[in-house]
């Protein structure tokens, strides 16, 4: 029997197609190859910056003080000669929560005061960071050696206020500062010069009393400390240590219209008085 050439070709195509289908079915029956999970690129933490300016060398011109979280270097630069020149640098041990330049010693040269700690809470375990208040005199010929005038352990080592003001009127400025002693509790302190050393005076602890300033708020020639809170209980709930009897017409009301805002006033005699902002304080002092 003769087989035509066309029949042979058709048979060969059928076999090819059948083989291809068999291979395809076998491939589909197998588990698909597992692709390797792509590793996410490591996320670089944001670089944080701090900057302050002030006269440090007594030439009447301000210097620029900068810090960044990547290098942890505190750098002082000047533009006095028409171009930027680095005068000093120092590696900080902790995070500089607040910085201030002020003339503390009356020599016409400013000092750099830094409240150091963390931007939040200490870890539950492991090394702990304390609160530090340090005075830097960066332009001394023998180097930049900070003087530590205050150190305190805290679960939340964050300085929230830092002011330099002459509270006693003796032309020897004090350092007024506040920091978190606990989660929501803020301690207030005043650092006073005692010869070549510094003496720390403890002021009352105030819940969320983060913002502290001082000045002649009642325009009677006397410096007073003002404490502001973002929120908190009514003034009368702060206790006898802060809310005392009436003084100059400022009373502790039974209920405050704005419990989150109040004045806590410290007089030159070292006594505290407190008031709701709506309880007789002149409008210009609010």
Residue 195 confidence (pLDDT): 85
Residue 150 confidence (pLDDT): 96
CB proximity list for 116: less than 8 A, separation 6 or greater: 92, 93, 94, 95, 96, 97, 131, 132, 133, 134, 159
Any domain includes 261: yes
Instruction: Report the alpha-carbon distance of residue 237 to residue 231 in Å, rounded.
Output: 13
CB atoms closer than 10 angstroms to residue 157: 26
> What CA–CA distances, in Å, run from 196 to 171, 210, 228, 247?
16, 29, 32, 36
Eight-state DSSP code of residue 42: P
CATH number at residue 157: 2.130.10.130
Residue 194 confidence (pLDDT): 87
Domain count, the chain: 2
Instruction: Report the alpha-carbon distance of residue 87 to residue 76 in Å, rounded.
Output: 6
Any domain includes 125: yes
Same domain, 98 and 224: no
Instruction: Report the alpha-carbon distance of residue 175 to residue 102 in Å, rounded.
Output: 10
Same domain, 151 and 238: no
Same domain, 146 and 246: no
Instruction: Report the alpha-carbon distance of residue 225 to residue 248 in Å, rounded.
Output: 16
Any domain includes 164: yes
Any domain includes 182: yes
Same domain, 57 and 113: yes
Per-residue pLDDT of the chain (286 residues; tens, 9 = 90+): 554 555 556 566 666 666 566 656 555 556 566 666 777 777 777 888 999 999 988 888 899 999 999 999 999 999 988 899 988 888 998 999 999 999 998 888 899 999 999 999 999 999 999 999 999 986 666 667 789 999 999 999 999 999 998 887 788 899 999 999 988 899 999 999 888 899 998 887 888 888 888 877 667 777 777 777 776 555 444 433 333 222 233 333 333 333 334 455 544 445 545 544 433 333 333 3
Three-state DSSP class for 232? Answer: coil
Same domain, 86 and 160: yes
Same domain, 98 and 53: yes
Q: Are strands 147-152 and 131-136 parallel, antiparallel or unpaired?
A: antiparallel
Same domain, 113 and 205: yes
pTM here? 0.70
Would you call 29 exposed, middle or buried from its count of C-beta atoms within 10 A (0-12, 13-18, 19+)?
A: exposed
Same domain, 51 and 190: yes
Any domain includes 92: yes
The residue count for the chain: 286
Which residue range forms the structural domain that includes residue 140?
Answer: 46-210
Same domain, 128 and 254: no
Residue 66 confidence (pLDDT): 95
Same domain, 146 and 222: no
Angle, CA 140 vertex, CA 108 and CA 68 arms, to 5°: 95
Same domain, 122 and 178: yes
Task: Name the CA dihedral angle for 79, 82, 83, 88, rounded to a multiple of 10 degrees.
Answer: -30
């Amino acid at each position: 029997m003769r087989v035509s050439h066309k029949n042979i070709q058709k048979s060969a195509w059928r076999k090819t197609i059948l083989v291809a289908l068999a291979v395809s079915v076998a491939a589909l029956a197998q588990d698909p190859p597992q692709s390797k999970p792509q590793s996410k690129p490591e996320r670089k933490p944001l670089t944080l910056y701090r900057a302050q300016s002030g006269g440090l060398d007594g030439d009447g011109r301000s210097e620029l003080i900068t810090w960044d979280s990547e290098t942890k270097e505190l750098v002082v630069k000047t533009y006095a000669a028409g171009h930027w020149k680095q005068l000093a640098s120092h590696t900080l041990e902790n995070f500089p929560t607040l910085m201030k330049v002020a003339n503390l010693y009356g020599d016409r040269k400013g000092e750099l005061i830094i409240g150091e700690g963390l931007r939040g809470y200490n870890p539950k375990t492991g090394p702990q960071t304390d609160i530090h208040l340090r005075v830097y005199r960066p332009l001394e010929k023998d180097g930049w050696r900070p003087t530590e005038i205050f150190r305190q352990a805290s679960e939340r080592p964050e300085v929230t206020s830092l002011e330099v003001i002459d509270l006693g009127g003796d032309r020897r400025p004090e350092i007024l500062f506040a920091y978190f002693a606990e989660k929501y509790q803020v301690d207030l302190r005043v650092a006073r010069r005692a010869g070549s050393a510094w003496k720390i005076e403890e002021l009352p602890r105030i819940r969320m009393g983060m913002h502290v300033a001082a000045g002649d708020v009642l325009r009677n020639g006397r410096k007073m400390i003002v404490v502001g809170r973002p929120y908190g209980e009514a003034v009368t709930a702060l206790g006898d240590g802060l809310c005392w009897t009436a003084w100059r017409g400022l009373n502790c009301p039974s209920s405050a219209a704005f419990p989150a805002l109040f004045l806590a006033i410290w007089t030159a005699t070292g006594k505290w008085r407190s008031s709701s902002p709506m309880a007789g304080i002149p409008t210009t002092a609010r």
